[in-house]
A and B are shown apart, each in its own frame.
Chain A
Amino acid sequence: MSASVVGRAVSRVEGVAKVTGAARYAADTEVTGVTHAVLVKSTIARGRVTGIDTAKATAAPGVLGVFTHQNMPRLTVPGPQTMFLKGFLPVQDGEIRYSGQPVAIVVAGTLEQARYAATLVKPAYDAETPQVSLAANMDLAYLPEPHPMSGPPVYTRGDVAAGLESADVKVAAEYSTPLQHHNAMEPTAMVAAWDGDRLTVHASTQGVGDLQRSLMAAFGLPGESVRVVCPYLGGGFGGKALSWPEPILVAAVARQVRRPVKLVLTRADSYTASGHRAETRHSLQVGATRDGRLTAIDHTLTQQVSRTDELMFNNPGQTRVIYACPNVRTTQRAVRLDLPIANFTRSPEASGGHALESALDELAYALNMDPVELRLRNWSATNQETGHPHGSNHLRECYRRGAQRFGWARRDPRPGSMRDRDGLIGWGMATAAHASGGVPGAGADLVIKEDGTARIRSATQDVGTGTYTVMTQIGADVLGLPLRGVEFALGDSAFPRSVVAAASTTVPSVGEAVVRAATQGRDRLIALAVADSKSPLHGLDPKRVAARDGHLFDTERPSRRIAHREVMRRHGKPIEVVVSPAAFTPRRFSVGAYFAEVHVDPGIGRIRLRRVVGVFDPGRVINPKTARSQVIGGAIWCVGIALTEHTLVDPYLGRVLTPNLSGYLLPVNADVPDIEVDFIDRPDPSSPALGARGFGEVPSTGLTAAIGNAVYHATGVRVRDLPITPEKVIKS
């Protein structure tokens, strides 16, 4: 008996298409007669456009149209249920809400013509002084309206004041994280083409369905008239997860010029067009008994929001959920600034987790207790926010296995105590945790063809995480087909409705739909086989029949079997199954433990990460290869957030100063050491997707704190303001 394809380290099924260039990304879409759009963006951060001179641009070679708020068709602003969260559409009025807001769109026959003409558009402004500094505007912090996507503005359990009062040891500290950008490798691109009243948009989006619904709303069109297609994404990290204005604007101008229009955002555009992680301040008070049991956590987040929305994507969920603590309060406060809207970036809970895990390290020192031991003492079998048990939770094993692989027992906890010839060595650890699911489920359809192979479709996306591959594995496992016998198709809003590829939700939602569709398909195949008088399985109880290796067989006498192909040939027509979305996927937490070693030369402030060990509990691992890649990618993001990444904004002009990969420092290969990855790999019995939980965002949490904690261990300097740059650690 061959082992199941689930759990096998299968290489990406779309890998060959990607490395040979056969994979067509949005910008590669070939549409006859396509024209090119370029955005003209505001250079002021607040005020009004008082006039736009478009004469020269309109007369420039190849120009088909120059669109400003004065001649743009009126569009309906889509509602938040379509994941359009920005609250307004640019190029509809003269008001400027941030620097970089599109104020005009130029369409021309070639990209070069459009780019050149865009430089000739001359807006005039009535500028006001923008407010863009969180530090300078902390006194404006307020509690925004509750919204399901933000998490509760205020959450309380127990009596936090009393809990702190009764603590033997207390830690109070403030941690901050700067503005950060997603920086997917593929810039957002789109091609919009009208055929009469039917609109097709090829776009780089993490949510084909949401984007389709936002276009329907903007143009007042029914679902069958709008199709959004996105077979491949070169990363998204949340930056492509919302429905943004650009596809709507591009579709609107395509209708005006009566030609298909393509827009590929520049790297610089992506620093104002796709959201960002808001700058945050986390103020924490943590109390514990002498033996390290938490008595209270008070966690207040303050972050930037925009003038046109107040959604918060730095929910300190980990503080409420993970550790056993009777008295907990989390508060989320917003400060409105003249910046673009913030959204989820990589893992939205990462900044809150960073603050909590840093504070716990400070607490461990205050208690004179090993930080692993502190976390073990406060481990909780239940989700502390809901009081319900986790589906499963092997976090304690993650700590133990990680500590062992890392050699944690050899750590001398005294700061500055471990060194080598040319500097200090620091070891730090932290918990990684992120919510997954908790959103509506996905639908799917399935066809078992006459040749016995199957095709499954769902309007989901593969951000690069491996959706194509793991869904193929799940389908093949349930249907009893080899991998090559199953084709999984995604990235088309015409497929059965699914959910946005975000919030670590694809495996629990789409995986569940694939399990359901494949189970129904397999059962129908079995029903055919037992009903067919010429089948070796004729007359058997269907419950006795199972599927494996392309065959149905009698579980009590496995040599009695028939190939899927044979059953289908005799049936003579395909089996078709459609499953509609489950109302809800369970909200779960996937967890892990990170251990990090840094080397610090305190004389010159040089910090180098030397070693990382991460052990995770994502439930059952569908594919160890794609899961491991996800950890490596997440860990590298953490290296950036801990040590280098920050978007600079001019405090007076409100403009992003680092809108490129030369100014915005992402880690390079030389900054990334060996990352050792391990999984507990035990199915979560509550999972609807073969024991797997959502996992995508977990690896990009926790390691930032492990690195910061390691820097403290090395140097005795606690850097509470990310990134940890040389000047913050040099010894005076």
Chain B
Amino acid sequence: MDDFAYTRPDRPQVAVALAARPGARFVAGGTDLLNLMKDGAEHHDHLIDINALPLSGLRKVEGRIEIGALSRMSDVAAHPAVREGLPVLSQALLAGASPQVRNMASMGGNLLQRTRCWYFRDAAMPCNKRSPGSGCPAIKGQNRRHAIVGGSEHCIAVHPSDLAVALTALGATVHTLSPRGARSIPMAGFYLSPGNTPHQETVLGQGELITRIDVPVTPLARGSRYVKLRERATFEFALVSVAALVRTQGGVVREAGLAFGGIAPRPWRPAAVEEALVGRPLDAAAIKAAGAALVRDAVPREHNAFKVALVQRALAEALGEFGGSR
């Protein structure tokens, strides 16, 4: 690991001013950043520790819950307002990492964690995301855990966050601060597709600080759930996952929010899946149609073709909870 400077400001404006310089980086829980730096996958010469900033805690306001960017995964997951009003969020957080990691890891850091693609995390390998233009060995190599949709010929890594999948389905908004001021970004527009710039993962600019995440509290969110499939019973990233918000009335789907993890370079929420369900009874045919819409454009690779079937099963499993049959 290279030497780096370390600053711990206590005012957001100071933090973003410091971070505006190239080579500077925020550190929150450090559960991802430090691994990346130790493994030589990322190099930063100035770490700005944001833990002294007043960005922790949850606030319930009319129609939404505001979650400070520094709130820890475990605290958010356990918060009664989240457990009752946004079960998918609580479940997605608890399905991630381990209790120890969740006690350290922040909400903002979670959204910006980097892919677990093996090649990305080994600095001795080529990787377009880590060193642009060096190639993508995953496309022909060990790609069992890689994307089946949304990838490009330059990168097929999946975004690892469970939280991001839940927030995408919930239609959350990310609030940020930079020297140019504050702005808010809907989850749907927060992550970028890899295209030929897989190293650019979000719309955030250098030194732009996530201050909070606003999540709408709606009747739709109340009955939501998160399904995560993986080999181990716990402490593992998703092979595939589904955040499902569904409201039915008289057996007919009135509203749906469905986002998928483990299959794409960013949380995946194709409109076609929801369209296949809304206005129809939640029966086997509708679920099948939704699954087909989900994988219509899938580009499976040598080792990950199983995800095409598995993610449809996960969808059926998730919808089963709302009275659908799988």
Which A residues are closer than 8 A to B by beta carbons?
43, 115-116, 119, 603-606, 608, 643-644, 648-653, 655, 657-658, 662-663, 665, 667-668, 670-671, 723, 725-727, 730, 732
How distant is the Cα of A119 from the Cα of B118 in the complex, in angstroms? 20
Among B118, B119, B141, B234, contact of A670 (Cβ-Cβ < 8 Å):
B234
Tell me the nearest residue of chain A to B236, going by C-beta.
A665
B231 at interface by CB-CB < 8 Å: yes
How far is the CB of A269 from the nearest CB of chain B, in Å?
Answer: 13
What are the residues of chain B within 8 A of A603 when measuring CB–CB? Answer: 313, 316-317, 326
How far is the CB of B288 from the nearest CB of chain A, in Å?
Answer: 13
Known: A668-B234, A727-B310. 19 other contacts (CB 8 A): A43-B124, A119-B1, A119-B2, A603-B317, A603-B326, A604-B229, A604-B310, A605-B229, A650-B137, A652-B141, A653-B125, A653-B141, A657-B118, A663-B116, A665-B236, A670-B234, A723-B231, A726-B306, A727-B309
Q: How large is the interface on B (under 10, 10 to 19, 20 to 34, 35 or more residues)?
A: 20 to 34
Among A655, A657, A662, A725, contact of B231 (Cβ-Cβ < 8 Å):
A725
Among A650, A725, A730, contact of B142 (Cβ-Cβ < 8 Å):
A650
Which among A604, A606, A651, A732 has the greatest number of chain B C-beta atoms within 10 A?
A: A604
Contact call A655/B124, Cβ cutoff below 8 A: yes
How distant is the Cα of A655 from the Cα of B122 in the complex, in angstroms? 10
Contact call B235/A668, Cβ cutoff below 8 A: yes
Q: Knowing A670-B233, A671-B233, say if A726 contacts B239 (CB, 8 Å).
A: yes
B140 at interface by CB-CB < 8 Å: yes
What are the residues of chain B within 8 A of A604 when measuring CB–CB? Answer: 229, 310, 313-314, 317
Which among B116, B144, B233 has the greatest number of chain A C-beta atoms within 10 A?
A: B233
How distant is the Cα of A663 from the Cα of B235 in the complex, in angstroms? 11
As a 0/1 sequence over residues 1 to 30 of chain B, the CB contacts with chain A under 8 angstroms (1 = contact) are 111000000000000000000000000000
Q: Knowing A116-B1, A643-B231, A670-B234, say if A648 contacts B118 (CB, 8 Å).
A: yes
B40 at interface by CB-CB < 8 Å: yes
How far is the CB of A715 from the nearest CB of chain B, in Å?
Answer: 14
Tell me the nearest residue of chain B to A643, going by C-beta.
B231
How distant is the Cα of A176 from the Cα of B3 in the complex, in angstroms? 46
How far is the CB of B37 from the nearest CB of chain A, in Å?
Answer: 11
B180 at interface by CB-CB < 8 Å: no
How far is the CB of B265 from the nearest CB of chain A, in Å?
Answer: 19
How distant is the Cα of A115 from the Cα of B37 in the complex, in angstroms? 13
What are the residues of chain A within 8 A of B314 when measuring CB–CB? Answer: 604
How distant is the Cα of A14 from the Cα of B314 in the complex, in angstroms? 48
Contact call B232/A652, Cβ cutoff below 8 A: no
Tell me the nearest residue of chain B to A663, going by C-beta.
B118
How far is the CB of A126 from the nearest CB of chain B, in Å?
Answer: 17
Among A43, A116, A662, contact of B2 (Cβ-Cβ < 8 Å):
A116
Q: Knowing A116-B1, A603-B317, A726-B310, say if A662 contacts B233 (CB, 8 Å).
A: no
Residues of chain B in range 105-157 having any CB-CB distance to chain A below 8 Å: 116, 118-119, 122, 124-125, 137, 140-142, 144
Tell me the nearest residue of chain A to B306, going by C-beta.
A727
Among B231, B235, B326, contact of A726 (Cβ-Cβ < 8 Å):
B231
Contact call A730/B141, Cβ cutoff below 8 A: no
What are the residues of chain B within 8 A of A727 when measuring CB–CB? Answer: 306, 309-310
How distant is the Cα of A11 from the Cα of B88 in the complex, in angstroms? 46
How distant is the Cα of A725 from the Cα of B306 in the complex, in angstroms? 11
Contact call B232/A667, Cβ cutoff below 8 A: yes
What are the residues of chain A within 8 A of B306 when measuring CB–CB? Answer: 726-727, 730
What are the residues of chain A within 8 A of B124 when measuring CB–CB? Answer: 43, 655
How far is the CB of B143 from the nearest CB of chain A, in Å?
Answer: 10
What are the residues of chain B within 8 A of A652 when measuring CB–CB? Answer: 137, 140-141
Contact call A644/B231, Cβ cutoff below 8 A: yes
As a 0/1 sequence over residues 300 to 316 of chain B, the CB contacts with chain A under 8 angstroms (1 = contact) are 00000010011001101
Pick the 4 closest A-B CB pairs, nearest first: A727-B306, A657-B118, A670-B233, A43-B124
